[in-house]
Structure 1
Amino acid sequence: MEIKPLSEYPRDAVDRLLNVIHLFRDIRASSEWQYDVLLKRSRLVSLQSGEQLLRAGDVDKWVYFLLRGELHVKVNSPAAEEAPGNERPLAVIRPGELFGDLSMLLAEPRSADVFAANNSQDTQVLGVDCTLFGDLEDLSLLQLPAKLVFYRNMVHSLRWKLEVYRSKYPGHQLANSHRKLKLYTGPKNSREELIALAEQAKALAQILLDWNAEFGSGELVDDESDMLGFLESMLS
């Protein structure tokens, strides 16, 4: 695994690379200076076939975007312990996907291992140090507009994932949980909106974590092929 700060790459190449990621594109549109701050807290990770990126139990504040290749998400399970080396991934992460956000938002240990796929020879991942966004009162490095962009992106991503679960299992007790959360209706572009978005993101992350716990246990599906097929469609 090779880890390099973005400063080691030509700036025009970095700009082209990050223009496809909503978070970076939106912050750059708001402020070039704030975009530069975010670049300084980001890094590019290159993985070879089968290399591990994240480990269950780790605690950090990094969020990731897959830029190239394919990643496999795996969790410890009785089936995997009975047949080590033959377990299939619980989920597949493909280019453009955001991951690692639940651990960051909830300040909890990571719940799964993430590996580069065995058939993926050149996997590239962008990592962002989200300690920049954690303290809502500290606007010394990232100002209010940039933090609003971040939490709006988090809320949008989480709601989309939860809607996919809802469409697959409309009768499940969790199906409408995210729709019951109160939406912010106060002044736009304010500290009040930032606080509300951060609270909403954490609540959505907890609901998604609850879904994932049941899905990982296999309780929500009839068979393994159904589970893998749905997860792959969800992450594509």
Structure 2
Amino acid sequence: MEIKPLIDYPREAVDRLLNVIHLFRDIRATSEWQYDVLLKRSRLLSLEPGEQLLRAGDVDQWVFFLLRGELQVQVEAASQGDGSSGERTLAVIRPGELFGDLSMLLAEPRSANVFAAHNSRETQVLGLDCTLFGDLEDFSLLQLPAKLTFYRNMVHSLRWKLEVYRSKYPAHQLADSHRKLKLYTGPKNCRQELTALAAQARALARILLDWNAEFGSGELIDDESDMLGFLESMLS
């Protein structure tokens, strides 16, 4: 696996790449220098077919965006009658998807292994070190507006994925769980909102983890997938 800091690439190409990822685009619109902080904490990972990206049991604070190729999420399969066991595919991650957020938000070990698909000739992943966002009281590197943007994006992404599950399994006992969570209605753009958004993101992550454990994350693809129109030559 080749790992390169994002700042090693031409800035113009990086800006075009990140402009189609909501989180980076929104923070850049808030503050150019806060956007620069994110660039310094981001890296581009290139994987060979079948190469492992994430390992079950690992603990870290990285969140990822798949830019090119395909990834497979695998978990250990139940033991067979002969005592053997193996891996089963829980989900397929396709370009445009955000992943790794559940472990980051819940501060828990990763629950699955993630590999580059064997049929993916080239797999590229953008990784962001989210230790920047973990301490809600620390504004030494990222200020309040940037942290609010991050958690608003997390809440939006999680609710979208939960709505996809709800549309597929409307009669399931988890179907309305996320809709029962109280939305924040207090003052905007303040620490109170940040605290509420972070708590809401963690609650949504827990619900999504329950869905994934039962069904796998399926074919959840968000609207960032249309980035692929010009990614083919972006960072070559």
* TM norm. shorter chain > 0.5: yes
Q: Distance in 1 between matches of 2:35 and 2:103?
A: 24
Deviation at 1:82, TM superposition (A): 4.5
**Distance in 2 (alpha carbons) for counterparts of 1:83 and 1:110:** 20
Counterpart mapping for 1:81-160 below 5 A:
82=84, 84=86, 89-160=89-160
Q: Which has the higher contact order (CA 8 A, sep 6+)?
A: 2
TM-score (norm 2): 0.89
Deviations 1:103-133 (A, max 9, x none): 0000001011100010111111000000000
- The one of 187, 200, 218 equivalent to 1:231 is 218
The alpha-carbon deviation at position 173 of structure 1 amounts to 1.2
Distance across 2 between alignment mates of 1:44 and 1:150: 20
Say how many residue pairs are matched: 220
Q: Which residue of 2 aligns with 1:164?
A: 164
Q: Check if 1:3 corresponds to 2:3.
A: yes
Structure 1 segments of 4 or more deviating over 6 A? none
State which drifts further: 198-207 or 75-84: 75-84
CA distance in 2, matches of 1:97, 1:203: 20
Q: Is the 8 A contact 2:77 2:88 kept in 1?
A: no
Output the amino acid matched with 1:122.
E
For 1:184, what is the secondary structure of its paired residue? coil
More helix by share: 1
- Kindly provide the amino acid, as one letter, of the partner of residue 197 in structure 1: L
| AA of the residue aligned to 1:181 | L
Larger mean CA deviation between 168-177 and 62-71 belongs to 168-177
* CA-CA distance at 1:16 after TM superposition: 1.0
- For 2:221 and 2:97, the matched residues in 1 are separated by 7
Partner in structure 1 of residue 208 of structure 2: 208
| Aligned counterpart, 1:38 | 38
Q: Distance in 1 between matches of 2:167 and 2:18?
A: 31
> Is the CA contact (8 Å cut-off) linking 1:92 and 1:235 kept in structure 2?
no
Code of the residue aligned with 2:93 in structure 1: it is I
Question: Residue 96 of structure 2 contacts residue 221 of structure 2 at CA under 8 Å; is this kept in 1?
Answer: no
1:78 aligned onto 2:78:
yes
- From the superposition, tell whether residues 206 and 88 of structure 1 become closer, same or farther in structure 2 (CA, over 3 Å): closer
Which amino acid is the alignment partner of residue 231 of structure 1?
A: G
3-state SS of paired residue (2:162): helix
Identity %: 81
Cα-to-partner distance string for 1:182-229 (whole Å, 9 max, x where unaligned): 10001111111110000000000001111111225xxxxxxxxxxxxx
For residues 59-81 of structure 1, give each alpha carbon's deviation from its aligned partner in whole angstroms, at most 9, with x where no partner exists: 00000000111111111112788
Q: What TM-score, normalized to structure 1?
A: 0.89
Q: Distance in 2 between matches of 1:18 and 1:44?
A: 12
Q: What letter matches 1:41 in structure 2?
A: R
Secondary structure at the aligned position of 1:28 is classed as helix
Contact kept, 8 Å, 2:61 with 2:129, in 1: the verdict is: yes
Q: Which runs of 5+ in 1 are unaligned?
A: 217-229
Structure 2: which 5+ residue stretches go unaligned?
A: 223-236
Quote the residue 2:229 is aligned against: none
Provide the C-alpha distance between the structure 1 equivalents of 2:161 and 2:196, rounded to a whole number of angstroms.
20
